[in-house]
Chains A and B, each alone.
Chain A
Amino acid sequence: NAGVTQTPKFRILKIGQSMTLQCTQDMNHNYMYWYRQDPGMGLKLIYYSVGAGITDKGEVPNGYNVSRSTTEDFPLRLELAAPSQTSVYFCASSQGSGEAFFGQGTRLTVV
């Protein structure tokens, strides 16, 4: 009963490096989301997808890219890491009523 799986759990990047945060779900949900969580700021939406091949920007998309080639996978790409991207990243999926199921998060530090 995996639900939403994120990898890696932790990562340290140097400024200017790139990386991909992986997210996969096994619930056959159409909707998938990427949020970032910063202390005292709640969760802010980076990108979301309503189905394979369809993505859209959220509130804070700058510096990130996504793709959705399959229903299961929704990777988040950081091309040129900056200290402002130090955060905890959560992937989530949903279907129907909007209730979202979250992964365990990826803690990213950019130094």
Chain B
Amino acid sequence: AQSVTQLDSQVPVFEEAPVELRCNYSSSVSVYLFWYVQYPNQGLQLLLKYLSGSTLVESINGFEAEFNKSQTSFHLRKPSVHISDTAEYFCAVSSFHSGNTPLVFGKGTRLSVIA
């Protein structure tokens, strides 16, 4: 069975400051890793994903995440946040074993950017 732990339920940060949202996973097989973002009263949107290859993946709006197999982590970072980054962020894991397994989600981290 797979599981995801997001270590912080809420992260307040000032505008233009850096931020790191932490995610650790547990799995007995090779994994795919994802970060999703949810803005108020909306569905989830994919922010970035790690499937294979380079362990550092980036999004179009300046977020990046690094897959660390030895530490079973996939932390999300941004060097300078904007007010518009205020949202809830979910880390998720799946694997390929006789077909895709459904995504397993963490409990989410609410990022609040303060002006």
* Residue ranges of A at the interface with B (Cβ–Cβ < 8 Å): 4, 31, 33, 35, 40-45, 48, 50, 58, 90, 92, 94, 96-105
Contacts and interface: CB of A to CB of B under 8 A. Distances in A.
Interface stretch (B58-66, B69-77, B79-87, B93-101): B93-101
A42 B94 contact: no
A86 to B, nearest CB: 16
Contact of B32 (A45, A48, A90, A97): A97
Given A42-B90, A104-B42, A104-B43, A99 B107 contact: no
Contacts of B42: 104-105
Interface string B22-66: 000000000010101000001111100101000000000000000
A95 B26 CA distance: 23
A71 to B, nearest CB: 15
B100 A103 contact: no
B105 A97 contact: no
Contacts of A104: 42-43
A45 B102 contact: yes
Interface of B: 6, 9, 32, 34, 36, 42-46, 49, 51, 90, 94-96, 99-108
A99 B49 contact: yes
B100 A90 contact: no
Contacts of A101: 46
Nearest to B110: A40
Contacts of B96: 98
A49 B25 CA distance: 24
Contacts of B106: 42
Contacts of B108: 40, 42
A21 to B, nearest CB: 14
Contacts of B9: 40
